[in-house]
């Protein structure tokens, strides 16, 4: 499940890795760039570069917001299938671009962005709502792992086509290969069930139970599945029912501790972008074009490290938890960017980097050290936290806002980075260093530890106002306590109707399972 569904991350990573290489390809520059009559060379202006790179992010922002209500209506599985089709449409627009029609590339990337943004919401949500709680963090982190794999594979293909072709095959071959990944995801997801929490909310209790039995790999009467299904039922009972798309969004902000959690999710996604990782991944070929090392080889090295070390993050998230890992990652990236910016500004001869070979190599080294910190902490773990902190009733909508925050800042950085680096060169790294430090402080004060907790337990922690730095010590209430809290909580007549089917289907089953559990 994790491998197939994480193809949504691979699709995003592959497209990100593509565009970084395309901007440095001579045939791409000749076809879509501008001609400099003084130098006799083709180039991309800052505006055109920002639009080609950044329009993907505008599409992703839109896609993330649109995908939420669609996922609540037709389900997570069919939503993933539909957005894979949209990706193919965007890729056709992009690959068919003719001479000087750079805006066709731009609009193709915007359409691709609709699909990528939607999948960035749906993939973590699908895995969060399906995965067993004790490995949920590692499985959701596979989304980021596949992003890094996509970036690395795109860099490899770009390097091969740039080296072996002198025509439009340099960039059309990588684009054409891109049709394969959404095809695998779109067809493959049809062989998987919808998430158990979505099925339960729709009254399909037996389907939810069977899905959980499969992912846990346990027999019908296993206590863990019974316990988690009971938590889902109790949370559903305490929720009010929906009253339409707009009113649901409005009521979400007034629900207990939801505005607080939405702010956390949007803030974490913002700071994931402000770590500065995409400074290397979007513009890596151009950044290192000014040092004395082949920029395509450099990008290949960075992306290879990015993919390889992400496996470490899958271990860290379940053995050291979210909070410790994120705070350590923030400190590490803060130090790396301080050194990177200082070497680039004070030690590197930016007019002729061959005069300062040691500074050039130092930039590459600390870029690699930075990626080690990002790929093992902030890269995968922010997606995990975003998928965990919201209750089932509002998960799709709240996650869409958090994901939209990510893509908004992704666009702002993609568009303005070329202008900023042109004005302050490598001192841009000091900005990212400060953001990394601030991001670590936000984690310490506001993010609770979700390792080893069910989604329903994490929801209870926020409702109870558990202090983030004391969340490791929190003990989950018993099911009996949760039943009493649910009975005392708010429940509308519509909510009663919504859970009637679930109650009817599970009552006799619950009594029998309780007896077997006692035996």
Using one digit for the tens of pLDDT, what is the confidence trace for 357-396? 788 778 878 888 998 999 999 988 998 998 889 988 888 8
Task: Concatenate the DSSP letters of all residues of 187-254 into one string.
Answer: HHGGGSPPPHHHHHHTT-HHHHHHHHHHHHT--TT-HHHHHHHHHHHHHHHTSPPP--HHHHHHHHHH
- In the beta sheet, which residues pair with residue 35? 42
Q: Which residue has the higher pLDDT, 486 or 491?
A: 486
- pLDDT per residue as tens digits for the range 213-272: 888 888 887 887 887 888 888 777 766 555 566 777 778 888 888 999 999 999 999 999
Encoded tokens for 493: 């007549």
For residue 84, is pLDDT > 80?
Answer: yes
Closest CA to 155 of 303, 365, 375, 372: 303
Distance CA 489, CA 390 (A): 18
Residues 6+ apart with CB under 8 A from 512: none
| Rounded mean pLDDT, 114-125 | 90
Residues 6+ apart with CB under 8 A from 204: none
SS3 at position 43: strand
Per-residue exposure over 115-142, b if at least 16 CB sit within 10 Å of its own CB, e if not: bbbbbbbbbbbbbbbbbbbeebbbbbbb
Give the chain's mean pLDDT.
82
Residue 493: per-residue pLDDT: 36
Given a contact cutoff of 8 angstroms between Cβ atoms, the answer to whether 69 and 245 are in contact is yes
| 60-74, 290-304, 432-446, 481-495: range with highest mean pLDDT | 432-446
| 173-177, 199-203, 247-251: range with highest mean pLDDT | 173-177
Q: What is the DSSP letter of 447?
A: P
Residue 1: per-residue pLDDT: 80
Dihedral angle, C-alpha 431, 63, 317, 330, nearest 10 °: 0
For residue 5, is pLDDT > 70?
Answer: yes
For residue 69, is pLDDT > 80?
Answer: yes
Element (H, E) at 439: helix 428-446
Under the banding of pLDDT at 50, 70 and 90, the label for residue 405 is very high
Q: What is the DSSP letter of 3?
A: H
| Rounded mean pLDDT, 11-16 | 86
For residue 507, is pLDDT > 50?
Answer: no
Given a contact cutoff of 8 angstroms between Cβ atoms, the answer to whether 201 and 501 are in contact is no
Residue 294: per-residue pLDDT: 66
SS (HEC) of 235-269 = HHHCCCCCCCHHHHHHHHHHCCCHHHHHHHHHHHH
Distance CA 388, CA 261 (A): 10
Encoded tokens for 13: 């990573």
For residue 168, is pLDDT > 50?
Answer: yes
Residue 138: per-residue pLDDT: 86
| Rounded mean pLDDT, 288-313 | 75
- The structure tokens 């930039």 sit at 363
Residue 452: per-residue pLDDT: 84
* C-alpha count within 13 angstroms, C-beta hemisphere, residue 181: 30
| 49-58, 205-214, 332-341, 473-482: range with highest mean pLDDT | 332-341
For residue 4, is pLDDT > 80?
Answer: yes
CB atoms within 10 A of CB 492: 12
- Going through 290-408 in order, the beta strands assigned E by DSSP cover none
- The structure tokens 């007019």 sit at 351
Under the banding of pLDDT at 50, 70 and 90, the label for residue 182 is very high
Residue 52: per-residue pLDDT: 79
For residue 514, is pLDDT > 50?
Answer: no
Under the banding of pLDDT at 50, 70 and 90, the label for residue 490 is very low
Closest CA to 496 of 249, 236, 180: 236
CB atoms within 10 A of CB 3: 12
Residue 504: per-residue pLDDT: 47
Residue 292: per-residue pLDDT: 54
- The structure tokens 């993010």 sit at 447
- pLDDT per residue as tens digits for the range 126-160: 998 888 888 888 888 888 889 889 988 988 888 88
The percent helix, strand, coil of the chain (3-state, each to 5) is 80, 0, 20
């Amino acid at each position: 499940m994790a491998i197939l569904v994480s193809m949504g991350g691979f699709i995003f990573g592959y497209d990100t890795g593509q565009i970084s290489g395309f901007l440095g390809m001579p045939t791409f520059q000749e076809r879509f760039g501008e001609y400099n009559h003084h130098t006799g060379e083709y180039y991309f202006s800052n505006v055109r570069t920002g639009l080609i790179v950044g329009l993907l992010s505008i599409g992703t922002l839109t896609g993330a917001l649109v995908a939420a209500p669609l996922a609540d209506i037709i389900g997570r599985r069919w939503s993933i299938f539909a957005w894979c089709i949209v990706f193919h449409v965007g890729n056709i627009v992009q690959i068919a671009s003719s001479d000087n029609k750079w805006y066709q590339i731009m609009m193709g990337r915007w359409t691709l962005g609709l699909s990528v943004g939607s999948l960035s919401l749906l993939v973590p949500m699908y895995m969060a709502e399906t995965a067993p709680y004790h490995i949920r963090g590692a499985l959701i982190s596979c989304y980021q792992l596949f992003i890094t794999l996509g970036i690395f594979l795109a860099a490899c293909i770009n390097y091969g086509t740039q080296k072996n072709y002198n025509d439009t095959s340099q960039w059309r071959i990588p684009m054409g290969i891109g049709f394969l990944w959404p095809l695998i995801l779109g067809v493959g997801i049809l062989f998987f069930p919808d998430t158990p929490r979505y099925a339960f909310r729709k009254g399909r209790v037996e389907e939810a139970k069977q899905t959980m039995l499969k992912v846990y790999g346990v027999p019908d009467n296993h206590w863990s599945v019974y316990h988690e299904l009971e938590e889902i039922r109790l949370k559903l009972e305490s929720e009010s029912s929906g009253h339409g798309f707009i009113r649901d969004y409005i009521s979400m902000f007034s629900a207990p501790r939801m505005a607080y959690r939405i702010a956390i999710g949007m803030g974490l996604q913002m700071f994931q972008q402000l770590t500065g990782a995409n400074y290397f991944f979007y513009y890596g070929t151009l950044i290192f074009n000014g040092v004395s090392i082949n920029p395509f080889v450099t990008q290949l090295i960075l992306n290879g490290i990015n993919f390889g070390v992400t496996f470490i993050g899958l271990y860290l998230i379940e053995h050291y938890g979210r909070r410790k890992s994120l705070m350590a990652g923030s400190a590490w990236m803060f130090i790396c960017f301080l050194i990177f910016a200082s070497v680039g500004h004070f030690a590197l001869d930016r007019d002729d980097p061959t005069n300062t070979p040691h500074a050039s190599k130092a930039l590459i080294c600390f870029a690699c050290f930075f990626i080690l910190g990002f790929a093992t902490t902030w890269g995968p773990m922010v997606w995990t936290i975003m998928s965990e902190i919201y209750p089932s009733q509002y998960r799709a909508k709240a996650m869409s806002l958090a994901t939209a925050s990510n893509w908004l800042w992704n666009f702002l950085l993609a568009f303005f980075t070329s202008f900023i680096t042109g004005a302050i060169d490598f001192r841009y790294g000091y900005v990212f260093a400060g953001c990394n430090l601030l991001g670590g402080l936000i984690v310490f004060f506001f993010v609770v530890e979700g390792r080893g907790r069910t989604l329903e337990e994490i929801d209870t922690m926020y409702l109870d106002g558990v202090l983030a730095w004391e969340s490791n010590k929190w003990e989950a209430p018993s099911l009996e306590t949760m039943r009493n809290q649910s009975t005392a909580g708010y429940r509308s007549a519509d909510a009663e109707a919504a859970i009637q089917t679930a109650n009817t289907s599970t009552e006799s089953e619950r009594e029998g399972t309780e007896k077997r559990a006692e035996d």
